[in-house]
Amino acid sequence: MSNPSPVWHPFTQHGLGAHTPGIAHAEGAWLTTSSGEKILDAISSWWVTTHGHRHPAIMQAIQRQTEALDQVIFAGLTHAPAENLARELIALAPSGLAHVFYSDSGSTAVEVALKMALGYWRNTGEPRTRIVALEHAYHGDTVGAMSAGARGVFSDPYAPLLFEVARIPFPHSGREQQTFDAFDRACRTSPVAALIVEPLILGAGGMLTYAAEVFTQLARIAKAHGVLLIADEVLTGWGRTGTLWACEQAGISPDILCMAKGLTGGALPLAATLATATIFEAHCSSDRARMFFHSSSYTANPICCAAALANVDVWKSEPVRERIAALVVRQREAAQALKAHPNVSSVRTCGTIVAVDMKTASTGYLASAAPKLAAFFLTRGILLRPLGNTIYVLPPYCITDDQLALVYDTIQVALDQAGDFV
């Protein structure tokens, strides 16, 4: 089937011929199409828009920065937005993280983290190259990030590019010890360079949740074996799990932390990988061959850094944590109300996130219900993008009670009509 537009959209099967609305305007939790229709953004535009679209302070910071410095090479030069932002991020991050490396997306933040870990072991003279990750994990779409993620529909076409990663079972409730034992065995079998984990909730892997205590124990095992711990907080950071960082709930300070999505409040693409002084020092030498070999042309773009600084100021000057706390309560209440529905098999919450598994004949990311549900929600003026048969709600923190009620009223209708989506 031909596509009348030359645009190739991400994670979109154009052969299905689905309608693609054009968005002309956004404000708060609302999107407005080019034809003037309103769509409530209940997934924060792929999990990035934290405070709502076009937050005035962030928009103003972007405009001011465009009048001073748009872009400059970051190898051998620096600028105030990047320097100031790095100091702010270190102050906000879990203790022990001391250096900030900028990139432009969650995937690249993970690539940077993996390369930092491997570079650390090479430069310290210990041959560790093995990476361990959770079953069902998703860490992005670049080659290293895909390698760390679960093998399956996301990565099958690109298998020749991927390197092997040791997998440990997802810590399902009641079976956590299997995960701990598997990780400990992996570390004893051969030296492990790093464990990479999405703390508390696996996003694209199905919004699977696990207890903070599980993450705490995994960190203990990693430390016992001298394994670097990489916390992939691309989704979970900036308040999504109820605290600024998911690591806080586990009482963990990782060796490396990846952040992106909410870093600029969702306004512009920017990512950061934070590392300890120990990892930085392993790359710091008079020998140029020991430098960290990674960059992109737009590393630390000044306009993006200015947006991120404005986001930090929003967290300082506005009651963001109170908004999050209130949203956590509302989301729990909404989830509780759905548990008894006959067409629901499971409901999970993690901070501001709710995930609902609809009873369908097929499950997994390619479940036929997903595109049908997404189209249904759009006809009702709601942007929801199910992961297979899993409907999740991940709204901006500015969403009102009435707006959230509209989202769940619409989900209720979809559940009532579940047979239409099989």
pLDDT tens per residue across span 50-102: 999 999 999 999 999 999 999 999 999 999 999 999 999 999 999 999 999 99
| Statement to judge: residues 325 and 305 lie in one domain | no
Residue 2 above 80 pLDDT? no
| Statement to judge: residues 84 and 228 lie in one domain | yes
Residue 26 maps to a domain:
no
Residue 286 maps to a domain:
yes
| CATH code (residue 292) | 3.40.640.10
Q: What is the pLDDT of residue 17?
A: 86
pLDDT band at 3 (very low <50, low <70, confident <90, very high): low
SS3 231: strand
Residue 267 maps to a domain:
yes
Candidates 289, 241, 285, 234; CA nearest to 259 is: 234
3-state helix, strand, coil in the chain (%, to 5): 40, 20, 40
Candidates 399, 371, 388; CA nearest to 208 is: 388
Which of 265, 297, 317 is the C-terminal boundary of a domain?
317
SS3 160: helix
pLDDT tens per residue across span 220-240: 999 999 999 999 999 999 999
| Statement to judge: residues 74 and 96 lie in one domain | yes
Q: What is the pLDDT of residue 1?
A: 42
Number of domains the chain is built from: 2
| Statement to judge: residues 267 and 347 lie in one domain | no
- Alpha-carbon distance of 69 to 59, in angstroms, equals 16
| Statement to judge: residues 139 and 165 lie in one domain | yes
Question: Checking DSSP bridges between strand 256-259 and strand 38-41, what pairing results, if any?
Answer: unpaired
What angle do helix axes 369-379 and 401-416 make, rounded to 10 degrees? 130
pLDDT tens per residue across span 287-319: 999 999 999 999 999 999 999 999 999 999 999
| Statement to judge: residues 291 and 355 lie in one domain | no
Residue 43 maps to a domain:
no
pLDDT tens per residue across span 187-208: 999 999 999 999 999 999 999 9
| Statement to judge: residues 284 and 409 lie in one domain | no
Evaluate whether 283 touches 291 at the Cβ level (below 8 Å): yes
Residue 7 maps to a domain:
no
Identify the burial level of 184 via C-beta atoms within 10 angstroms of its C-beta, where 0-12 means exposed, 13-18 middle and 19 or more buried. Answer: middle
| Statement to judge: residues 223 and 90 lie in one domain | yes
Q: What is the pLDDT of residue 18?
A: 87
Which of 299, 317, 335 is the C-terminal boundary of a domain?
317
| Statement to judge: residues 88 and 142 lie in one domain | yes
Look up the domain containing 330 and give its range. Answer: 321-421
Residue 263 maps to a domain:
yes
Residue 415 maps to a domain:
yes
| Statement to judge: residues 287 and 351 lie in one domain | no
Residue 51 maps to a domain:
no
Q: For the chain, give me the number of helices (H) and strands (E)?
A: 13, 16
| Statement to judge: residues 392 and 406 lie in one domain | yes
Residues 6+ apart with CB under 8 A from 251: 212, 216
| Statement to judge: residues 181 and 287 lie in one domain | yes
Scan for tokens 């990035």, then name that residue: 48
Residue 338 CA from chain centroid, whole number: 25
Which of 317, 334, 353 is the C-terminal boundary of a domain?
317
DSSP string, 28-83: BTEEEETTS-EEEETTHHHHT-SS-BT-HHHHHHHHHHHTT------SS---HHHH
pLDDT tens per residue across span 238-277: 999 999 999 999 999 999 999 999 999 999 999 999 999 9
Q: What's the whole-number average pLDDT of the chain?
A: 96
| CATH code (residue 338) | 3.90.1150.10
